Amino acid sequence: MKTKTIHQSVIIKANPHEIYEMLMDSEKHSQMIGDEAKISREIGGRVSAWGDYVDGVNLELVPDRKIVQKWRASDWPSGHYSTATFELLEAEDATELVFTQKDVPEDFCEGISQGWWDYYWTPMKETLE
């Protein structure tokens, strides 16, 4: 199976802590995406969003700085996971969120890439700015 890497960067007029909490707090995450999300705050803890559509595990957590998760969508080939990395870099009166998702199945890459903008970065900006 061929895979691709998604690399995105967005400037959000909020501090890194606010963005980290929106990604890691189950209630805030659910409100942002408009659907159920369950996010563990432990390394090795489970992550799910959009009901059963997204499934994952926390690999690395650096509060207010970095989140690394093993991540997959339910319609991907069985057992295949990507690695999603969220880096929060302080900028002047804002935070640069640098996102990289490695090993996304090629056939799903365009939809997943657009989905991050439509269902994460845009609502995050609307909520926090």
Residue with tokens 């690399």: 7
Q: What pLDDT was estimated at residue 92?
A: 86
**Residues β-bridged to residue 99:** 8, 86
- What confidence tens digit (pLDDT) does each residue in 51-101 have? 889 999 999 999 999 999 999 999 999 999 999 999 999 988 999 999 999
Assigned CATH for 3-128: 3.30.530.20
Domain boundaries, the chain: 3-128
Round to whole Å and give the CA distance between 99 and 85: 6
pLDDT of residue 35: 93
Helix (H) or strand (E) holding 98: strand 94-105
Task: Give 16-48 pLDDT, tens digit per residue.
Answer: 999 999 999 999 999 999 999 999 999 999 999
The runs of H, that is alpha helices, within 1-129 are: 16-24, 26-33, 106-116, 122-128
pLDDT of res. 7: 98
